[in-house]
Chain A
Amino acid sequence: KQEVTQIPAALSVPEGENLVLNCSFTDSAIYNLQWFRQDPGKGLTSLLLIQSSQREQTSGRLNASLDKSSGRSTLYIAASQPGDSATYLCAVKVANFGNEKLTFGTGTRLTIIP
């Protein structure tokens, strides 16, 4: 059974700093890994999607990497802003015929201090 873990569970950093969020998964048989952002009480906003054959994806100040063989992904946020405060979730799409699912990590609650 796929298990996805995110470390740290919570993180507070001053505005302007660069930061890294971590995601690890136990089964490397995945189609892709997706990073989401969730504001309190709201839905999920997709940030980046990395295919299993890719090493990284970039969008603006965000960069996500994937090392499938070691079961790890990182989300790098450059020059953090107060508006980046949210919970960040990583999720892997399991490549298991007849049981394809998106399995979520436990999330990292990020607070950017002005």
Chain B
Amino acid sequence: DTEVTQTPKHLVMGMTNKKSLKCEQHMGHRAMYWYKQKAKKPPELMFVYSYEKLSINESVPSRFSPECPNSSLLNLHLHALQPEDSALYLCASSQGLTDFYGYTFGSGTRLTVV
């Protein structure tokens, strides 16, 4: 298995809702990432997990809450989002942080906040 799987593919949520994005990989990668991408912009890093521990938080608002329950799974919990949070959310994985391997990205979750 050489894929990163993200669910759901599309999500519409109200500003008072609580929802979660899920990301899964079975490549044995020990680093996992969340990126946010707005239209016509490059992806922006949100969070980095290494060996299931949060390594980098790029000053993301607390309404985004990441979780790494095990080495194969990464969640992003969403609560009280704003319309400007609407974007494509990408998950990625790599073998490790300090190595020469590349990243594998999932197909993304298209989030719309209404």
Contact = CB atoms under 8 A, between A and B. Distances in A.
Interface of A: 31-32, 34, 36, 41-46, 49, 51-52, 89, 91, 93, 95, 97, 99-102, 104-107
Interface in B24-73: 33, 42-43, 45, 48, 56
B103 A102 contact: yes
A46 B90 contact: no
B91 to A, nearest CB: 9
How big is the B interface, by class? 20 to 34
A93 B35 CA distance: 15
Interface of B: 6, 33, 42-43, 45, 48, 56, 88, 90, 92, 97-108, 110
A102 B99 CA distance: 12
B107 A31 contact: no
Contact of A32 (B92, B97, B102, B110): B102
Given A36-B105, A104-B42, A107-B42, 9 more contacts: A31-B100, A32-B101, A32-B102, A34-B103, A44-B105, A51-B100, A89-B42, A89-B43, A93-B102
Contact of A31 (B42, B43, B56, B99): B99
